[in-house]
Structures are given as structure tokens and as C-alpha cells.
Structure 1
Amino acid sequence: MRYRDCPTFEVSERYTTSPARLWELVTDIELPVRFSPELQGVEWVHGDSVAIGNRFRGHNKHPQMGEWTTESTVVEVEPERRWVWQIAGFDGPAATWAFEIDPGRDAVTLRQWARMGPGKSGLTMAIDSMPEKEGRIVANRVRDWETGMRANMAGIRDLLG
């Protein structure tokens, strides 16, 4: 797995609820803070809702990577269906994240996905210092993302009762 290939990871879960209720939950930028082992806090820095161009800051902490802050910009919004944000990197988006809602006959499917790169990030600095370990570094980061996404899905299930 190479960073330059922009690895993407996705999780999905089906919920017996309305798209509107899921939308209300996933557009609360503080929701992942409640469940994430890494995301410690968030706040809006431009705007105060999920709307194209609005920006928010995230504060993160990881046992191997330390503490850092990111700034994200909302780049796509389709109400009650999808919202996408990009995390600023050194030379373009360091990552792109999204929540997507697909209504169904018996349940609503929620997907959360993330794509690395293509811009440089703290992860690319680690790769640059240990290029022979790139595959392991990227795979470990994808596993971290999976852990956080699965925690979000489980937390949403708990909130929905």
C-alpha cells in the first residue's frame, strides 16, 4: 500500500431510523469526538454549520504520533445524503473524509469513508524518514481510521437506541 495511490477505507452500517435523524447526527462535527480514540476536540473557525466553504479545526492525539491540529474545509454537501470535507495538507488535501446516507426500504445505510492524500501530511514525513516502511506505515494508519470509523458507527447505534 503506497501513500501516492491515495488509499481509501470505508465502513457502513444499517440503521432503522430516518435519513433526517442520521443527517442531524453526522453533521454535528463534535459527534466523532464522543467516540474517537484520537480526535480530542473540534470547533468551527469559519461558519458554524455543514456548508460548502465552512472550515473547522480538529485537535488530535495519538500514542505514536503525538498531538497535532488540522484544519478542514467542507467541499461537498447534499442535504440528508452526503457531506465531504478535506483536511488541509502542505501541498493539497492531506485527506478527504465523508459521511453518506442511503435511504432504503427497511433501513438507512450510513457510510463513512476517508482517502489519504494526495497532499503531504505528517504521515508523509514519517514515510520520507523511513521509506522502506511505507507499506506498514500506511497500513497502520488505515487501521487507525477503521478503529475510529467503527467507533463512530457503534456510537451512532447507541445514540439511536
Structure 2
Amino acid sequence: MRCSGPARVHNEQRSGDVRYADGPTIECDLHVAADPARVWDLVTDIELPARFSQELRRVRWLDDCDRPTLGARFEGENHHPLLGEWQTVSHVVRLDAPRVFAWVVVDEAGRFGGGPADPERPGSTWQFRLVEEAGGCRLTHSVRIGPGRTGLSLIIDRAPEQEEVIIERRTAALREAMLTTLEGIKALAETPADDGR
């Protein structure tokens, strides 16, 4: 499916057919006319997405980390009208500079049920991927929901007969947020930095 503007969405299951157990997946990409090293610096800044998000409010490194390393953890503070406020913990699971930055999100506090937090069964898996392309790079942002429980699980529990509709609404909101994040990164990357980079 193509979106308006330079960003596009692809690799997404057909709306209305997807259940939580299917691991709903969204992948969006766009071309960024900037040095891939500059784009990499932006996508590995874990605080950056909060600038563009309605849901993610704040992010901070844990365990005395201050930059992405394999296995590093960071905390996210979130807010949603249906769920209120909650925190998550993310684990960096892939760091292939300057190509792939991926992390899994777990419910460390157990707010959404499902037992102890397990990075092997995350609530979601997020990734930025960069591929050099003429005049810059192709930047892809993706998410896979599940298999662990999330706030979406709680909403489905309240109305299981509406699972497909609930997932369709959630993936639409995620898609919009991801495209906003991509556009924000593109704007920052394509704006000359003060240091002349």
C-alpha cells in the first residue's frame, strides 16, 4: 500500500484478517537525501522518537548506558487515552552499524499480564534499517507486535469478538506514528547541522 508523500508502507498483512497471534507487522520506508552516517546518528538516538510521538513521552538509558550497545536496556514512558500511563523496558537485540538498529520491548512491571518479562517473548520488536541509495539512503522503520502481551492484549480481552477491528485500528495508529517519525528524521537529517556536517 502506498501512502501520500514520499514515505510508503509495505510488507503489511491485509486489514481485517489479522489476529494478535499472527504477529501484526508494519514496515514503512522513505528516501533520505543525507549522509547515511548522519541518519544513523539520528535513528540510534533513543530519545528522538518521543519528539514525534503522541504516545511515547520519554526515554532514558538504564544500567549506566549512554549509547546503543548490544544488550543495552532503555526505559520508555508511555501514555494512551484507553490505557493511561505505563513504562516499558527495551533491550537492544541487533546493532549492525550503520545498517540495522533493533530492540524488543517487554512489560517489565507485568502490567499487561503474561508472567515475567521475557525478551524472547517481547510485546513488540522494532527496527530501523538503512540501505545506501543514490544521494543518501533508504530508511525503513518496522514493528512486529507480540508474541508477548501488551496494552493491545488488554483491549482485546475486553472485546475478543472485535479482535480484528481492534488490531486494524492499532496498526493504523502505529503506521501513522511511524510515518511521522520517518518524516521527522528525514527533515532533521536533510537540514544542515550547525557543525557543518
Give the alignment's TM-score, normalised by structure 2: 0.78
User: What residue number does 2:101 align with?
Assistant: 83
Deviation for aligned residue 1:48: 1.9
Name 1:134's counterpart in structure 2: 163
| Aligned counterpart, 1:65 | 83
Task: Give yes or no for the alignment of 1:29 onto 2:22.
Answer: no
What's the % identity of the aligned pairs? 40
* Matched AA of 1:19: P
Rg larger for: 2
- For residue 130 of structure 1, report the CA deviation from its aligned partner: 1.1
Task: Count residues in correspondence.
Answer: 161
Matches of 1:125 and 1:118, distance apart in 2: 14
Query: What's 1:7 paired with?
Result: 24
Give me the CA root mean square deviation: 1.2
| Distance in 2 between residues matched to 1:123 and 1:71, nearest whole Å | 17
Q: Give unmatched runs, 5+ long, in structure 1.
A: none
What displacement does 1:50 show?
A: 1.1
More deviation in 131-140 or 119-128?
119-128
Per the TM alignment, residue 106 of structure 1 is displaced from its structure 2 partner at its CA by 3.0
Where structure 2 has 5 or more consecutive residues not aligned to the other structure, the ranges are 1-17, 108-113, 116-120, 192-197
Deviation at 1:124, TM superposition (A): 1.1
Find the aligned partners of 1:49 and 1:107 in 2 and give their Cα distance: 24
User: How far is 1:13 from its partner?
Assistant: 0.8
1:106 aligns with 2:135: yes
Q: TM-score, normalised by structure 1?
A: 0.95
